[in-house]
Each structure stands twice: as C-alpha cells, then as structure tokens.
A and B are shown apart, each in its own frame.
Chain A
Amino acid sequence: MRRVITGNQAVAYGVILSRVDVVSAYPITPQTTIVEELSELIASGRLKTRFLKVESEHSAMAALIGASTGGVRTFTATSSHGLAYMHEMLHWASGARLPIVLVNVNRAIGPPWNIWGDQSDSVSQRDTGWIQLYCENNQEVLDTILQAYLIAETVRLPVMVVLDAFVLSHTAEPVEIPSIEEADSLLPPFCPDYPIDTQEPRSYSVITTPDYFLEFRYKVQKAMEEVPEVAKKVDDEFRSRFGRSYGAIERYGKKEAELLLMTSGTVTSTSRIVIKKLMEKGLSVAGIKIKRFRPFPSEEICEVIQGAKKIAVIDRNLSAGVGGIFAQELRASLYSREERPQVFGFVSGLGGRDITPALIEEAVQYTVEHPQPEGDILWLGLKK
C-alpha cells in the first residue's frame, strides 16, 4: 500500500508492523505526533500493544528496560531535551544488552529555546552504546525501524533511529507501506536470552567488580563490531523482500571523484540535487551519505574514498570546542590510512535553519577553491 504520510506516521507504521509489545513515551515536540498516533491506535483497541504512561523520558526508558528484560519487544520515541533526560537509562539499556528501538526526532537542545532540526541531541549520545541510524526520507524511516529490530535483536544492542524535525517528521510524502505479513516474514518474534521466569529467579545487572567489568564492556564492543555484518545481512534480506536497501553508507555521483561531499539525514537528499547539477557542470564530485553513525562505518567509508583528495562534511551539529562531529569521526577514521584526503568540516543548519542547495553548493565551491580548510570548523551560512 502506498500512502502520503508524514515521517512521524511512518514511524508509527514501523512500530505497528514490528508488532511491538510495549510502548512507553513522553510527548515532546516534534516527536509528539508519533505518540499521539500510537496511543490513539492502542486506546481504540486496534493495536494490541501495551502503552505505559510515564511522567518523563527517563521513566519511559526505565519502563522499557523492565519490559525488554521481561522478554518483549519495546519502543519509545523522543527528541532533544527528552533524549538528554534519558541519557542515564540509555547507558543502562545498552549495558543490559536490551534490543530496545528508540526513534529520535532530531531537535536542537536549548537554550536558546528551539524546536527545530539539529543533530546535537542524538550525536551527543554517541558514547551510550546505542546503534544510531539516520534517515533521509519517510520511506527510509519506516524501513529502518523494521531493520532496527532485526539488528537489535541479533546483536543484542539497542538502536536509535533518527529523523530530522519537521523536514521529515511533519512532512507528508508517498511511502510504500508493507503488509503485516510481509513484515512478519522479515522479523521473527523476539526471543530474550535471560527472560524473567518466576520459576528461576535471577538478579539482573547486579554489581560487577573490577574483576569482570572490563569483560562486559569488551562484549558490548564486540557486539558493536558485529553490527556491520549483521546490518548488511539484514539490509540484503530487506532488499530481497522489498526491493529497497540503504547500506551503512551510500556513495552517489561521479565514480572516482576528487571531491566528496559527506552528509547525513535530509541534507543528503538536497545534496543529491546539488551533486547532480555540479557533475553536469563537469565537476569531479560525488556524495557520501552516512546512514549508520554508530558503530561508525570507518571501513565502509575508506572503501569508497579511493582517489578522493578532499572530503567536505556538512555537520548539522556542533561539539563546541571541536566542531562538527561527523567530520571529527571521519578524521579519526582516516588517520591510520596512508592516503588521507583533506577534511573540510562545515557546520550549518543548526536549530533548523534551512541547508539550501545554494549553501551546499557554496560548501563545495569553497572546497574546490581551497587546497586545505582555513580551520577545523567552516561556518556555512553564518551571518558575519
């Protein structure tokens, strides 16, 4: 079925098709309509999912940690301050190896108060042990949720699915919605490793001394290291069933280009237009879309940048004191390579400012014109 739906509706469809058992969430703009949609469906009895009302995002995640430990499929959605409020529980979910799926609708963190798109909320949770998958359009949002459960339940790590505020969350466009049977054939029921069983009582997440703590973290890292292979299998499986796939990254544009433009989220979508236009003008450019931010796809990136001299990165986020985080991660990935393209780290579009084709073109032009960047941060569209 093909329907014109918003990004948040696509999330709701993803949740329904994944046969989630327990949803717990607290409303926050621009995530609110996800929770509205789901709670209305649940309240009307059309969706056989338990909705746990909570007083905060922290409690929402805590509730899901309990439910997931109990052995059921769980979902929550949040944004911005809500995600920040969940921070402690995000660590808990990954440390407890619970395959929870969270949708974060990217929104700036105040002050200044701002409800618009900005990746600072999700990227600042990069060290919590969650897999992070960014989406470019509403179709990808729906598809990624289905994939997220399969990945999460295979490697036993939680997954954060990220979409841009308003540009996706409140924007309606045609989306192909799989049938529940198709979704079921992709996603088997969740089987927990250590389900709660009153006949065999257990202590969970008990205190672990320095004797063993390192080993548990090692296991988390090993699980993260499994993600590229698992996610690829899931994506392949998805393609075979639905004809769509996304990869950890996607390279588009000219083969063997000298200049690469690296973006994530909806900026990629707009960039495709710019890259096409510049290629037509004869520029040796290509684009790289980063879908999977955690684990960071260093190997996948290195495979597709052969011959590139420069990589322009547009970050819709800022780690003050360092710069754009995608650029930072890219620099770290490249360091151990012999061949290291120049990284131009642009920061733009914070707090929901449009990253227009003109701005993107400006970034590429700057990169073309400068042998190396004039600093670690190149402010794009700053009112000087």
Chain B
Amino acid sequence: MGKQITFKRESEMPMISVSLGDMEWNKTGAWRTQRPFYEEKTPPCSAACPAGNDISGFILKTAKGDWEGAWNLIREENPFPGVCGRVCFHPCESKCNRGSFDEPIAIHALERFVADFAPRLSKKTGKAGEKRKEKVAIIGSGPAGMSSAYHLARLRYDVTVFESFPLAGGMLRMGIPSYRLPRDVLDRELSNIEALGVEIRTGISLGEHLKLEDLKDYQAIFLSTGAHRSRGLHIQGEKEKGVLSGLDLLKKMNLSKRIKMGEKIAIIGGGNTAIDVARSVIRLGKKATILYRRSREEMPAFEDEILEALEEGVKIRYLVNPIRVGQKDGPKRLECLRMELSEKDESGRRRPVPIPHSNLFIDADYVVIAAGEEIGASFLPEGAEKREGIVLTRRDGSTGIKGVFAGGDLASNQRTVAHAIGSGKKAAMAIDAFLQGKDAEEVIIQHLIGEGPSLSIFGYLHPGERLRNPHVVTFEELNMDYFEPAKRQGESKSAVKERIKGFNEVSSTLSEGVALEEAERCFGCGTCNECENCYVFCPDGSILKREELFSHQVDYDYCKGCGICFTECPRGAISLKEEAK
C-alpha cells in the first residue's frame, strides 16, 4: 500500500499530474453514510409457487446452460419438476414481473425442459445417508404423500408409503390423462423418490386393509389420501347404468379398463375433470359434449385446457343444467333447464338461476357427471376433526391426534398438484420438527417464502446457506434500462388431427436453444446473476469479484456509499441501508 505524498517544492513534483503511487491509504469507506450490500430477495414467482420452487434460481442456472444444476435446484424443493412442468397451472407466471414489461417467462416450459433434459446427463439420485431410527408412515402416494416421503427421506427418516391402488401416484396417475402427463415421466420421478429408500406398498387401503392402530411402529403418520369421491348431482337417474362419475371414468381409463359407452357422451360440469373426460373420450373416437350451467367466463377449468378441448372437437353447451337423466337402459335422454346468470355468489361468480319452463332434452349414449370431488374419510380416527369437507389441521399440518398429520386434497380445498406438493413438504418439515422436539409452527414461519404460505425447505436442510430476504421484489424495484423486449417462447403443440388419434402428449419439450433464449429473458428478480453492472459502474472500484463466491462483495474500506450499484442493479439484488451511527 502506498502512502500519501505531499510536495513542499515545485521541483519535487512530477512533470504532469500523474499518480505516483496508489491511493489505498485513503480509506474513503469512512465517508459512507449508507451501505450497499448483496442481498438476494424473493422473486414473485417463487412466492406464488405453492410448491415453493426456487424459480429464479433454476432459471439462472438454465440460462447458463447448467441443466443439471437447474434440475437439482428445483428438486431441493420439489421432486416432481417433470410433472409440474406439465400439469401445474403455473400461478408463478401470472405474478412474473416480466409480465409488466412484455410477457411473463414460460416458467412451466422451462421447468419441463430441465426435468426432461437433465436426467439424461445426471446419475441417479444418491441415497440420503444412514437412516434415523424413527419411522414415518404415509397414507396415499399422490403428490402430497410422495413429496412428503421425498423430503422425509432426505431428512433420513425410514419412510413407508401405503397406496390403495395397484400403482403409485394417486391423482397424478388416476386423475390426469396421459396426453397431459406421460406415464414414463411420472414413473421416472416416482422411482427417483423410491431410490432415496422410500418403500411404497400398493394395494393397501386405509380403513379396508389397514387401521391406524396397526401403525404403532411408526412415530409419525401423514395422511394424504386425497379427494377421490365424486360429488353427485342429486338428480333423478344419476345412479343408473350408463351414468358414471368423471373421476371414476378417468380411473378406469388410466387403469386401462374397457368401458362400453356408445358414441355420444354427455359430460356434466365445467371443471378440469370434465375437460379431461371430454378430451379423453374424443381420443377414443367418440363425440363429447360438455354441459355447464354457467357461462364460459365462470368455467373453473384452466383456460388452455378449454381452448385445446374446443380445438379437438369437444362441444360445450353453456347455461344448461340437467335436472333428470331419462331412460334407465340404453341411450339416455337428459332433461335440462336453461339457466341465466344473476348476481354474484360467495365464490365471486355469477349465480346461475333456472329460466322457468325452459326445459330441453339432450340425447346421449353415456352420461358422465364431473361435478367435483370430495374426500372419503370413513377411516378417519376419532380426534381428527372434519370441517367443510376437509380434515381440519393446524398451521403445521397436524391433526387433533398426536403424531398424525394431514395434507393434500384431504386437508385443503385448493386442490392442485402444486398445493399438494407444497403441503407434503410442509408435513415433512413439521414431522421432523415434531420428532426432533422442535416447535413445528416456528420452523414453518422461519421458512416461508416471502410472506408465505409457500415454504422453502432449502434453508432447513442447508442451514446458513444463501437465505433470501422475504421481501418480494416488485416491478418498480427493477431497472428496466437493462432489458430489451423479447418474445416469450412456448412449447409447440402437435396438430389436432394427430392429437386425437391417441393419448400421446399434446405439447413438446422446448429445444435447448429455445430454452436458453427463454431463460435469458428472466429478470432474475432479487437474484444476482453476475451481470457485473455493479462492478462496471462502481466509480471507486469497490466491487470485488471473487471467483469462489457466488456473487460479488463490496470493499467497505473504499466504498463511499454512493448507491450507484444499488441503482444500476437491474434485478434488485443489492440493498442499501443506513450506516450504523
């Protein structure tokens, strides 16, 4: 380090004003009144992800071509990237800050890409190490149960999953047609969980083959049996032959059972099950008509699904409500009333009301009722309370019975795959806390993403590593000077006439080039991607690049706290705070 040089005489001075030494003696950091620091914050996508994926993290790795790193990062939170990349309704994308600029990132497509590409490069997931002595039983091998099993196995518990169906996967296998979720993708991700040492016992139904009392060897139990019972319409003729619930029909199809259903199928309902049934029926070469009592706007099915169904030839009749299934045998004649919409109900949708004397008849060979699902909870032990059709749990997922936790569709009305995965993760953390004598609620509050309810297990599994500030980055906090508009890249879909020939997947995985382009669109809200703006703009050369560090460091000996790095950071990964006085 040089010293300050002072000149007493002109003759001592150099010819020109040139530096003769360094200025390191001048610790300008002492002038600072505010301190910049690298602080990763929560991107809105992650906060909106019910499964708690580190979305900006995995996209950053994807943008660098690190497929495997991206895949592993998703799987820190969620063992089902291949499933979620296909069937998740991606609430992350509607919260994506890029949507305020041009179009949101195609997060689901990137997740699917990573899940499809990385395993080709990766070795099988290693075992979680020596198991603890505690055993955990999980009832139900759907996304909630398997997510829980996965994380508990990573926490080194001895986990056994009991499944009533002959195959694992729960609603992923029974409820979702394979043109949306190819079975090899599901099987791959389930087997990755099994590879961690999770045992799945199929064909064992709680209540029928197994009672809770039989599970005394297990120190904790997670109930994730789902909602498998179809709601009835409570109309005349719905129990007759030739009438089936949507879920039961899907189960039969997914277990490859043959069903005699004639040519013209009427499907009653406006949810995803109704659409799944209609599109499956179309693929069997039949005609499908959906009858929905409200209008298109109120339809709860995902918009993309509705559009694809219409493309494939599904007919949808709005504002009709069946009141009777006529004819016991043979072709059915549905008697319906025309409806009109009145004021909004408690769900925020306009309530359908019948138009008097508007009766009409619709003929069909087969009628499918897809009016929603509810839990079947005959096995529920005493002490487990039910309310509004679900098992009542505390914030940590615990039921009234000590050591028994519940999650997934069984304990929630938000019945999506991502919510189920998130609740399984929460149960894993709560069960671990319970078994280790920690305060489960406290653990959960500490690991919320943003303000929750999504949870991250990463910090729980890797204490002290890269914790994000829960602050959710807003669009206004980003610096748009550094982004150019770029078109959103989506998956391509196969042609309609190819699609309806069978149950092959409708959309295809992104190519590597397209995935890179799309990943590069990500703002990386609150996530340093080493763009080096701070390094370039710092007028004092006080940003230190460190190879071994993920991001940069501020040299507080010389940083004057001008805040330029904070202003010029495109993605809000730098914070500024008042210097302690």
Contacts and interface: CB of A to CB of B under 8 A. Distances in A.
Contacts of B215: none
A45 to B, nearest CB: 35
Contacts of B7: 212, 215
Nearest to B16: A97
A208 interface: yes
Contacts of A194: 14-16, 18
Interface of A: 95-97, 156, 193-194, 202-208, 212, 215-216, 218-219
B15 A203 contact: no
Nearest to A222: B10
13 contacts: A193-B15, A194-B15, A203-B18, A204-B16, A204-B18, A205-B17, A205-B18, A206-B18, A206-B19, A207-B17, A216-B13, A219-B10, A219-B15
Interface string B4-24: 000100100111111100000
A184 B134 CA distance: 91
A215 B7 CA distance: 10
A131 B16 CA distance: 18
Contacts of A218: 10
Contacts of A203: 18-19
B5 to A, nearest CB: 11
Given A203-B19, A205-B18, A219-B15, 19 more contacts: A95-B16, A97-B15, A193-B15, A193-B16, A194-B15, A194-B18, A204-B16, A204-B17, A204-B18, A204-B19, A205-B17, A206-B17, A208-B17, A212-B7, A212-B13, A212-B17, A215-B10, A215-B13, A216-B16
Interface residues of B, number: 9
Nearest to A215: B10
A95 B17 CA distance: 9
Contacts of B13: 212, 215-216, 219
A265 B342 CA distance: 100
Nearest to B13: A215
Greatest chain A CB density within 10 A among B7, B16, B18 is at B16
Nearest to B9: A215
Greatest chain A CB density within 10 A among B10, B17, B18 is at B17
Contacts of B15: 97, 156, 193-194, 219
Contacts of B16: 95-97, 193-194, 204-205, 216
A21 to B, nearest CB: 20
Contacts of B10: 215, 218-219
Nearest to B15: A97
Contacts of B14: 194
A212 B10 CA distance: 8
A183 to B, nearest CB: 27
A156 B14 CA distance: 13
Nearest to A203: B19
Closest 8 CB pairs of A and B: A203-B19, A215-B10, A208-B17, A202-B19, A194-B18, A97-B16, A206-B17, A97-B15
B18 A202 contact: yes
A95 B16 CA distance: 7
Nearest to A213: B17
Interface in B376-431: none
A219 B13 CA distance: 9
A216 B11 CA distance: 10
A216 B18 contact: no
A218 B7 CA distance: 15
A315 B125 CA distance: 92
B21 to A, nearest CB: 10
Nearest to B23: A203
A254 B1 CA distance: 67
A345 B269 CA distance: 107
B207 to A, nearest CB: 78
Interface in B1-49: 7, 10, 13-19
Interface string B183-218: 000000000000000000000000000000000000
A216 B17 contact: yes
A208 B20 CA distance: 13
A147 B66 CA distance: 63
B12 to A, nearest CB: 9
A96 to B, nearest CB: 6
A203 B15 CA distance: 14
Nearest to B12: A215
Nearest to B20: A202
Contacts of A219: 10, 13, 15
Interface in B96-142: none
Nearest to A223: B15
B58 to A, nearest CB: 40
A203 B26 CA distance: 15
A212 B17 CA distance: 9
Contacts of B19: 202-204, 206
A205 B19 CA distance: 9
A206 B15 CA distance: 13
Nearest to B6: A211
A185 to B, nearest CB: 27
A214 to B, nearest CB: 9
Nearest to A98: B16
A205 B18 CA distance: 6
A206 B7 CA distance: 16
Contacts of A204: 16-19
Nearest to B14: A194
Nearest to A202: B19
A97 B13 CA distance: 14
A219 B14 CA distance: 9
A205 B15 CA distance: 11
Nearest to A204: B18
A219 B17 CA distance: 11
B539 to A, nearest CB: 13
B102 to A, nearest CB: 35
A86 B16 CA distance: 21
A216 B7 CA distance: 12
A365 to B, nearest CB: 50
B57 to A, nearest CB: 37
Contacts of A216: 13, 16-17
Interface in B320-349: none
Contacts of A207: 17
